[in-house]
Amino acid sequence: MGETSSRKMEHIRMVAEAGVESRESTLLEYVRIVHNPLPEIDLDDVDLTTSFCGTSKKLRAPLMITGMTGGHPDVAWINRELASLAEEMGIAFGVGSQRAAIEDPGLAHTFSIAREAAPSTVVVANLGAPQLSRGYGVREARRAVEMIGADALAIHLNPGQEAYQDEGDPYYSGVLERIIEIADSLDVPVIVKETGTGIPGEVIRLLYRSGVKCFDVSGLGGTNWIKVEVLRSKKRHGAPLRPAGPLSDYWGNPTAVSIVEARLAAPGGYIIASGGVRNGLDAGRSIALGADMAGVALPVLRALLSGGRNSARRLLESIAYQLRTILFMTGSKRVEDLWLAPIVVHGRLRGELESRGVDVDWYTLRGRVEALLWRRRYST
């Protein structure tokens, strides 16, 4: 088994056991969606169905299990179970980085098992940006997509993780050009995603203007990969090779900030909100802030590992039901109507957004409405 493959196993063990989430929050707690006690709709009127990244596929709820694993025979069952759960619930599923199977095609089944378990729902392929800096291009991107019959390809950004991983690949030169080539060449959409430290508006704007239309902001406030790598290094050597100090808790762009910046930078883009989304209120707040859907990784994996498939299903179903009730209690029949629900943005989130040049009152009162009109006129 190669180095990439055995690292995948170690990561699963680490995140199952250790505290790997940031101390810093998503800042989603500073969003209040205004409750409407007279919604004039029935709970049954709420329709959670949604499209995905400009593809023709429909989801039954605006939720995704974001990419985590594959690449080692012992983790194939995780992809199978989570993908079949996504199929059953009609939500999207992402596999983890397929680098291991590009290096060793004998591992391809640990990813393709996801498509076998989820023949009809959205399944998303995954490659890392550092590999694009070191030779991967359109050919490898096509292989990743074909390997699992993917509906989209996620390219993940993780400079912090690479900088703190013992055997990391902190190579990012030339990545933008490769992403543009891949987005131009593939028949399926490219999603540029972070892995827990968020994407600022400047980067979203650059990519959006270069032809990338889908983003997963994966912001600060949930799983933190600097922390995972520092803990892993400590476990292996007694002390981390590269201590990160406060970076492992506080470095990055919080999820709530990233959502607003992404929506402003890519008004017609498809925005997945992830990084610290833990319940339906987080998901509802993310969508009310301007995201199209919410993504969850760590809690679903932990639920599966500790309580099996039923436990993972209970978690996802409770997130979906909470989201449904939020739509009901705001009089929103459809997911996108949440962009019209009044919200209050206060405290640190307001301060952060203002210092990033966002006129918060304009955004909450008009900006989201304009984005919605833009969306209706020019779909992703």
Give me the phi and psi of 163, to 5 degrees please.
Answer: -70, -25
Quick one: 69 or 330, whose CB is closer to ligand FMN? 69
Give dist(CA 259, CA 375) in Å, integer. Answer: 16
Quick one: 84 or 223, whose CB is closer to ligand FMN? 223
Least distance (Å) from ligand FMN to the CB of residue 343? 22
Give me the phi and psi of 345, to 5 degrees please.
Answer: -110, 120
Least distance (Å) from ligand FMN to the CB of residue 93? 11
Encoded one letter per residue, x for contact with ligand FMN by CB under 6 A and - for no contact, window 19-58 reads ----------------------------------------
Q: Is 193 a residue that touches ligand FMN (CB under 6 A)?
A: yes
Least distance (Å) from ligand FMN to the CB of residue 73? 16
Q: Is 223 a residue that touches ligand FMN (CB under 6 A)?
A: yes
Q: Is 126 a residue that touches ligand FMN (CB under 6 A)?
A: yes
Q: Spell out the residues 6+ positions from residue 20 whose beta carbon is closer than 8 angstroms to its own.
A: 14, 223, 224, 227, 228, 231, 298
Q: Is 68 a residue that touches ligand FMN (CB under 6 A)?
A: yes
Give dist(CA 273, CA 275) in Å, integer. Answer: 7
Helices vs. strands in the chain: H and E counts, helices first: 17, 12
The region of 31-39, 64-72, 159-167, 230-238 touching ligand FMN under the rule CB under 6 A is 64-72
Q: Is 97 a residue that touches ligand FMN (CB under 6 A)?
A: yes
Give dist(CA 211, CA 178) in Å, integer. Answer: 12
The region of 7-15, 116-124, 327-335, 372-380 touching ligand FMN under the rule CB under 6 A is 7-15
Quick one: 67 or 201, whose CB is closer to ligand FMN? 67
Question: Helix, strand, or coil here: 184?
Answer: helix
Give me the phi and psi of 8, to 5 degrees please.
Answer: -55, -40
